[in-house]
Each structure stands twice: as structure tokens, then as C-alpha cells.
Amino acid sequence: MTAPANKQTTFIDLGLMPYDEAWAYQTRLFEEILEIKKSNRDKTEGEAQPTPNYLIFCEHPHVYTLGKSGKEENLLLPLEQLRTRGATYHRINRGGDITYHGPGQLVAYPVMDLENFFTDIHRYMRTLEEAVIQTVRHFGLNATRVPGLTGVWLQNPDRKICALGVKTSRWVTMHGLALNVNTDLSYFEHIVPCGIDDKTVTSMQHELQRPVPMEEVNKVLRAQLFHLFGMTS
């Protein structure tokens, strides 16, 4: 039995947290939701427990992550050399190829039951992108999508400002998006970002030629995600 839709969403700001710790944290929440959905199958109407939703924001120390369909050759440095740059490396269970996370990059992990909102993965991805497009527009940047590619881009030439990579199971989501705010873009020189070798990467700071307050970007992106998904607090 499916429980009534629950759009209430708990916002959690983890601050700066090592990637593996944040991954374990969101995995616990993800599995909690799946377990509730599993137990609801044996319950009658009125007994089914609503599933919770979470929106996690954080930053990570320098780390490279490779999605389940990614190619290790897109990491251009030997693993032992990553340590000299203070970076770690993880193969993970999201979609997509290789990407970089680090200080100055705002990472958002929606851990939510899409049955509380809409059951359409394509729409889910486009909604995440739209939240970022509206967020950077608030700061004066005209971002868009590139046909056939995931993420948020500035154009002429194409340069990616936000990467997306998600995992879903029984309409429950984890992983999410990474928006380059004040990111050290030199770390992208050691990978083929997202496996795309003819595009560049940028940040809000690089485009605006000034540091951008992370707390302000945090506030705007959070508001956009709540608005576009119809989340309640």
C-alpha cells in the first residue's frame, strides 16, 4: 500500500565533510526510505507510513568520484599522485562519469521519494537543472542546457558550471548536483570532466570575476529547489 504523498522535506547542511562520510550519511537516509516503502507493502490503507524527504547541502575536501558507467582513463593522474594534491578518489554508485568536488563547490544531495512528488526521472533531472539555472541567474549569469548533455552550462563557448549525477531505486533518489561557486578550477585539469573532452568547466567566481558568498548561493538554491519541487518545510 502506498502512503499518502508527503512533501515535507528536512533540510540538512553538513558543512565541509569528507566525501566518504557524506556518502555514508545519505546512504543511511536512502535505505531508511526504502525500508519504509518495503514495510508499507504489507500494510492496509491508513496504516502505511509516509516516507520522509531530505535535502542535504555540503562541501567536500578535494575528491574525484567516478560513476558506475565511467572510465578510469578519464582520471589523468596516477592515483598515487592525487595525494600530492591533497585529493582522494572513490568509485561510486551514481550515474555519470568522473567529476571533481572540493571547497568552494556547493553540493546538493536530494534524498527523497519521488512518489511524494512525481514519478519521472527525466523531469527530476530537468528540475534539478532548472533550480541551478534560476540560482545562477539570480547572480547575473545566463545559464542553460546543452542538448544531449546533462548539467548546467554557459555558452559561446560551452562551459559547464554544474554537474549532475544521481542514483534511484523504487523512486528514491540519492547523489545529486555540484555547483561550482568559488571552486579551484585547476583540479579539473586532472580529469576529463564527466567524460566530455571537448568542453571546459567554469565557476561563478570565474565568470563574475569576484568571490561569491557561499551562504547566499546556499540560500537561493535551497529556495529554488523547494519551490520547483513543491517541497514544504
Which sequence positions are flagged as catalytic?
Answer: 194
SS (H, E, C) 44-87: CCCCCCCCCEEEEEEECCCEEEECCCCCHHHECCCHHHHHHHCC
DSSP 119-176: --HHHHHHHHHHHHHHHHHHTT---B--TT--SEEETTTTEEEEEEEEEEETTEEEEE
Residue 226: CA atoms inside 13 Å, Cβ hemisphere, count? 15
- Name, in order, each residue with C-beta under 8 angstroms of 115's C-beta and a sequence gap of 6 or more: 2, 5, 51, 171
